[in-house]
Amino acid sequence: MAAAVASSLPPGEVVIALGGGADSAVAAWACRQVAGADRIRACHIDHGWPGSPALGRAAVSLAAHLGIALHVVTIDVPPGPSPEGAARLARLEALEAEAGEAAVVMGHQADDLAETVLGNLVRGAGTEGLGGITPSRGCFVRPLLGFTRADLRDLARFLELPFVDDPANEDRSARRNVLRHEIIPLLEARLNPQLRPALVRAAVSLQDDEAALQELADAVPIHRDGEAVLIPVAPLVTVSPAVASRVIRRALRMAHPPYPGRSREIGVVLAAATGRRRGGDLSGGFAAVREGPFVTIHQPARAAPVIDVTPLPVPGRVEGDGWVISSRYADVGAGPVSLGRRRCRLGADLAKADLAVRSARRGDRVDVGNGTKAVTTALAEAGIPLRKRLGWPLVVARGKIAWLAGVRSAAWAGFTPRDRTGVELTMERRGP
């Protein structure tokens, strides 16, 4: 056991998730043997359930027995259709926050893995779910997956480690307990006495398959653009469906952590990527929308950041969410300059004007020389996504729009051949 733990522990500080039961007691003892008391500390999560006081006392006793520091964190489990799942998410979030940069050692063992695989099969999971509990993911490390629940219980008793049984494990309303106490014993009795080892073998094999597929999926870049997550269409439609679904799940987790999405939502994103539809609604108020070479996952209801009227000195700069607008005096005698959408020159009469930056608003119009055009239309023609048009930065002078940043200058404010000096504006954008 010491060898299994030693090979699993990364260097640095280690936090033991100390639940109060036999599994985490043995995990703490093994880590104490391998890493020493100075390198490890323990964290107990109090769910506020009927059995929590007894579990908390067992955790305190074990920490004192091993001579390691213990921090107790109380969490509120949000109500919902799956208290077990909600408790798990709340527990993991609390442990991750407690750990900081440290690794978190969990007490999961082979029976937990078998139960997870069978439970995920019942709900129709794919390869990732059927791989069950992995030896490590993120900051979480599980060195005891090669040992059974009985193994660890016997060892805890032999070592005289303080522990108690969680009464919640007897609650047959929880799906995991139905699997543990009813379904798996029935299948072992009627079909395969070695069902649990068989499920563990299947899980390990599927974990290898999942790792290979995930490696291919991780090679597809995913971008952040403010609150939005952007998936490039070209690789998404050329990789296999198995890889594409994993790319999309990664994007969904980035947009709405830790939610990996359902098969319907993966279909919505793929349909937008292939052009079968422009987009569609996802859970949590998110939507998938095709934006040129990307499929964007974002929340349409979230308004773009509003930029109040902010003075733009010359020379100077104004910085916003994902962009910087800078200004300087321009002199024709300084030689030619490459302009384009992200750079423009305003006329000499604006060199001393009070310039400012603000958000685009509904009803804004820009002078195009032979009339005016709605700012939202001009932004659309320039390929600016719908989610960014209201809130797009504008440069104004004398109360009028002088430049749609990165798009076009107003006809009235432009640099003319007669101008020897003026103001040069530049927009730098971050992200795709």
| Residues 414 and 275 grouped into a single domain | no
**CATH number, domain containing residue 285:** 3.30.465.60
Q: What is the pTM of this model?
A: 0.74
Q: Is 10 a member of any domain?
A: yes
- How many domains in the chain? 3
Nearest to 84 by CA among 175, 8, 145, 170: 175
Q: Is 234 a member of any domain?
A: yes
Using pLDDT thresholds of 50, 70 and 90, give the confidence band for residue 29: very high
Burial class (CB in 10 A: 0-12, 13-18, 19+), 421: middle
What's the pLDDT score for residue 340? 64
Cis peptide before 258 (omega within 30 of 0): yes
What's the pLDDT score for residue 221? 96
Among 271, 298, 325, where does a domain finish?
A: 298
| Residues 338 and 277 grouped into a single domain | no
Q: Average pLDDT in the 226-231 region?
A: 91
Using pLDDT thresholds of 50, 70 and 90, give the confidence band for residue 339: low
What's the pLDDT score for residue 432? 58
| Residues 199 and 223 grouped into a single domain | no
Higher pLDDT, 153 or 384: 153
| Residues 18 and 97 grouped into a single domain | yes
Among 298, 333, 367, where does a domain finish?
A: 298
By percentage, how much of the chain surpasses pLDDT 70?
Answer: 96
| Residues 388 and 288 grouped into a single domain | no
Using pLDDT thresholds of 50, 70 and 90, give the confidence band for residue 303: low
Average pLDDT, the chain: 91
| Residues 143 and 13 grouped into a single domain | yes
| Residues 407 and 293 grouped into a single domain | no
Q: Is the pLDDT of residue 43 over 50?
A: yes
| Residues 339 and 376 grouped into a single domain | yes
Among 213, 229, 249, where does a domain finish?
A: 213
Q: Is the pLDDT of residue 267 over 60?
A: yes
Written in H, E and C, the secondary structure of the chain is CHHHHHHHCCCCCEEEECCCCHHHHHHHHHHHHHHCHHHEEEEEEECCCCCHHHHHHHHHHHHHHHCCEEEEEECCCCCCCCHHHHHHHHHHHHHHHHHCCCEEECCCCHHHHHHHHHHHHHCCCCHHHHCCCCCEECCEECCCCCCCHHHHHHHHHHCCCCCCCCHHHHCCCCHHHHHHHHHHHHHHHHCCCCHHHHHHHHHHHHHHHHHHHHHHHHCCCCEEECCEEEEEHHHHHHCCHHHHHHHHHHHHHHHCCCCCCCHHHHHHHHHHHHCCCCEEECHHHCEEEEECCEEEEECCCCCCCCCCCEEECCCEEEEECCEEEEEEEEEHHHCCCCCCCCEEEECHHHCCCCEEEEECCCCCEEECCCCEEEHHHHHHHCCCCHHHHCCCEEEEECCEEEEECCCEECHHHECCCCCCEEEEEEEEECCC
Sign of CA dihedral 377, 382, 387, 392: negative
Q: Is 304 a member of any domain?
A: no
Sign of CA dihedral 71, 76, 80, 83: positive
Q: Is the pLDDT of residue 334 over 70?
A: no
Q: Is 373 a member of any domain?
A: yes
pLDDT-wise least confident of 102-111, 232-241, 341-350:
341-350
Q: Is 56 a member of any domain?
A: yes
CA distance 173 to 189: 23
Task: Give 131-189 pLDDT, tens digit per residue.
Answer: 999 999 999 999 999 999 999 999 999 999 999 999 999 999 889 999 999 999 999 99
Q: Is 303 a member of any domain?
A: no
| Residues 24 and 140 grouped into a single domain | yes
What's the pLDDT score for residue 57? 97
Instruction: Give backbone dihedrals phi and psi of 165, rounded to 5 degrees, phi first.
Output: -90, 135
For the chain, the C-alpha Rg in angstroms (whole number) is 30
**CATH number, domain containing residue 110:** 3.40.50.620
| Residues 108 and 161 grouped into a single domain | yes
Q: Is the pLDDT of residue 336 over 60?
A: no
Backbone dihedral region of 355: left (phi > 0), alpha (psi from -120 to 50 degrees) or beta? beta
By percentage, how much of the chain surpasses pLDDT 90?
Answer: 71
| Residues 40 and 163 grouped into a single domain | yes
Q: Is 305 a member of any domain?
A: no
| Residues 21 and 39 grouped into a single domain | yes
pLDDT-wise least confident of 255-259, 269-273, 343-347, 358-362:
255-259
Task: Give 183-207 pLDDT, tens digit per residue.
Answer: 999 999 999 999 999 999 999 999 9
Q: Is 141 a member of any domain?
A: yes
Q: Which domain holds residue 248?
A: 219-298
Task: Please say whether the beta carbons of 401 and 356 come within 8 A.
Answer: no
